[in-house]
Amino acid sequence: MTPEHHFGSNLVAMVTPMNDDGSLDDTSLDRLVDHLIAAGCDGIVVGGTAGEAPTLTDAESAWLVRTVATRAAGRARVIAGVGTYDTASSIERARRAQECGADALLLVCPYYSRPTQAGIIAHCTAVADATDLPVMLYDVPARTGIAMEASTLIELASHPLILAVKDAKGDLFEAMSVMSATSLAYYCGIDELNLPYLAIGAIGLVSVVGNVVAERNSRLIRAVREGDLAAARSIQNSLLPFTDAVMRTSQGAIMAKAALAEVGIIADPAVRLPLLHALPEHRRLIVDALAVTS
């Protein structure tokens, strides 16, 4: 099976819909899953950064995976974010995600504790060994405080279940180097760089803006695969105002929720502390960007 079969290509880093009191909003969650699949999303990342994973309890994380897997009903792959800074906890989350119906795992580099590269390899190997689900590594040094070095990625690629990388590092040369040395499938994890990553060989996206514009991302992927870079640039350029509003104004989860509430997909743009609701001036930027993007 190809990595695309395991994970999809047009993936969305799904937000976690919440009510104003911070409880999870199951009605909006069902509506969001249906919206994403109808828009061409073939992979849904649950409990990742955009899903406010650090604020979710173990029970909530398990419920999210089970609910999304049931709602998706095979129409899209469900990739569960299971990484923490503790290997034992990550292993437990991985096993629970498999029990709840996840198709694959997203495993972030351990954050805060800043392990050595050997520690990263040991951590990722232990989690990958804990289930029989395919694993996508998540390299996001701006959040974790430490990067997965190229040599680390190359070594981890020898594990039979570590098949892909969500690259939010932004080092295109390193990405090309790892792709040339391994069979790891690359997914762009930086919406601002979706087109460059696809152009150098990434097979897909894990997109925050895709919560609202998954259909546009699907067209972008198709244009690059067909070798129509002029069309790809046109699509990417049309997304620049919205990408800027979501990714460079405040914080991705905050702004994606504001946009989803604006278009009526979720009922409330609520986030959990330490995140705060989008400011009125930021919501206006979303409204203006949506008007230009649509």
Q: Which of 85, 111, 112, 138 is catalytic?
A: 138
SS3 state at 4: helix
Provide the β-strand partners of residue 80: 46, 105
- C-alpha dist (Å) from residue 69 to 44, 82, 99: 9, 15, 11
Provide the β-strand partners of residue 138: 108, 166
Is 138 one of the catalytic residues?
yes
Beta strand ranges found along the chain (DSSP E): 10-13, 43-46, 77-81, 104-108, 135-139, 162-167, 185-188, 204-207
Question: What residues contact residue 283 under an 8 Å CB cut-off, 6+ apart?
Answer: 258, 262
Distance (Å, whole) CA 199 – CA 187 = 12
Sign of the torsion angle spanned by Cα atoms 266, 8, 46, 278: negative
* Cβ neighbours around 118 below 10 Å, total: 10
Q: Which of 111, 166, 187, 257 is catalytic?
A: 166
Query: Would you tell me the crossing angle of helices 229-247 and 210-225 to the nearest 10 degrees?
Result: 160
Q: Phi first, then psi: what are they for 46, rounded to 5°?
A: -110, 135
Distance (Å, whole) CA 231 – CA 225 = 11
Active site amino acids = 138, 166
